[in-house]
Structure 1
């Protein structure tokens, strides 16, 4: 299992980025509009961590791992068979890949296909 994208939704993007920079010596870039204006830094192994503000008033802070998969359609079917609820069906982000979000066991999870 590999995390391709670790999404952190917070009401204080600057504080979270500063804490991670201090603790882990990572550098966050400018906001990426394609990733909901997340500021990103590279994870060991080539993935990204993205820190962004909520996109709507009702969005709560969350930490959501997106697992790298070879075939997102197959992975979504497996998640549904396991009892997961698809919150966001597969959607392409040009230049980044295709993602989906699902809910299972009271937690948010994501899938990511390059």
Structure 2
């Protein structure tokens, strides 16, 4: 693995949770010159991957149908880990809360959603190509 963003403890992805996917696509696309490809979320809903000069920069999805109602629109960070189950267990032992247990993302890896002891949410991700 040569991509440092896939190493344990590094931020690897930012994902926008929005209430208006087309407006977000237009705003960020025009502001940063991003281009988009469409795929699906783990729930089968529309998902946009964003690229700048051919390089992957992040993702976007609608709040509705993908995240709990109490989650506000936001940029949602992912941190890489070597073993998502082990890291989720360690997060709990350190006072964190597992909001979504380790779950497969087809062709990507496994992730989970965690709240730290102060209530701040983030995602842990074990990339498929780490092995």
5+ residue gaps, structure 1, are: none
Could you state the TM-score of these two structures normalised by the residue count of structure 1? 0.82
5+ residue gaps, structure 2, are: 1-8
Could you state the TM-score of these two structures normalised by the residue count of structure 2? 0.72
Aligned twin of 1:37: 46
Aligned twin of 1:113: 126
- Runs of 4 or more off by more than 3 Å in structure 1? 33-36
Deviations 1:22-72 (A, max 9, x none): 22222111242447422111479x765111112168253232111011111
Larger radius of gyration between Structure 1 and Structure 2: 2
Deviation at 1:4, TM superposition (A): 2.4
Number of residues of Structure 1 aligned to a counterpart in Structure 2? 113
Deviations 1:60-85 (A, max 9, x none): 32321110111112211221122110
Q: What is the CA RMSD across the aligned residues, in angstroms? A: 2.5
Aligned twin of 1:22: 30
